[in-house]
């Protein structure tokens, strides 16, 4: 796939994709003999991982470390697992904050719906 096709598929800008490769969020992408990026299945897998993790709020630095450890081989399995567990904890903490906010919003919406029926807004 070309960089344009990958960007369209994952709703990224070419600058973002190049940045991810430059800093190590994704490993170096397969290139043609002329040096043009030619995303193969393995490259796409790394892009999908980066997009998923960034959408979940995982910091770029954590993704860079994960890729670095992956490239060092199977001796880093435990370290990679620990890094993923840390990312999971961060995501769960963020999810908890969103769940609390959603609960408050649902309460307020419910009170406003009652007010629309009764003509009076109360906060019981």
Q: Which of 61, 72, 51 is nearest to 9 (CA)?
A: 51
Residue 124's pLDDT is 81
Residue 12's pLDDT is 97
Q: Are 97 and 55 in contact (CB under 8 A)?
A: no
For the domain spanning 3-118, the CATH number is 1.10.1660.10
pLDDT along the chain (124 residues), means of 10: 96 96 96 95 97 94 97 97 96 96 98 96 91
Residue 75's pLDDT is 98
Residue 112's pLDDT is 97
Residue 18's pLDDT is 96
Q: Which of 43, 40, 38, 12 is nearest to 27 (CA)?
A: 43
């Amino acid at each position: 796939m070309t960089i344009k096709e990958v960007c369209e598929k994952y709703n990224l800008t070419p600058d973002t994709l190049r940045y991810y490769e430059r800093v190590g969020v994704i490993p170096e992408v397969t290139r043609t003999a002329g040096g043009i990026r030619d995303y193969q299945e393995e490259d796409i897998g790394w892009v999908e991982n980066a997009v998923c993790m960034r959408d979940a709020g995982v910091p770029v630095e954590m993704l860079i470390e994960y890729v670095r450890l992956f490239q060092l081989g199977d001796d880093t399995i435990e370290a990679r697992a620990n890094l993923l567990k840390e990312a999971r904890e961060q995501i769960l903490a963020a999810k908890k904050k969103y769940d609390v906010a959603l609960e408050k919003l649902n309460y307020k919406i419910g009170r406003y719906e009652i007010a629309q029926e009764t003509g009076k807004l109360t906060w019981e």
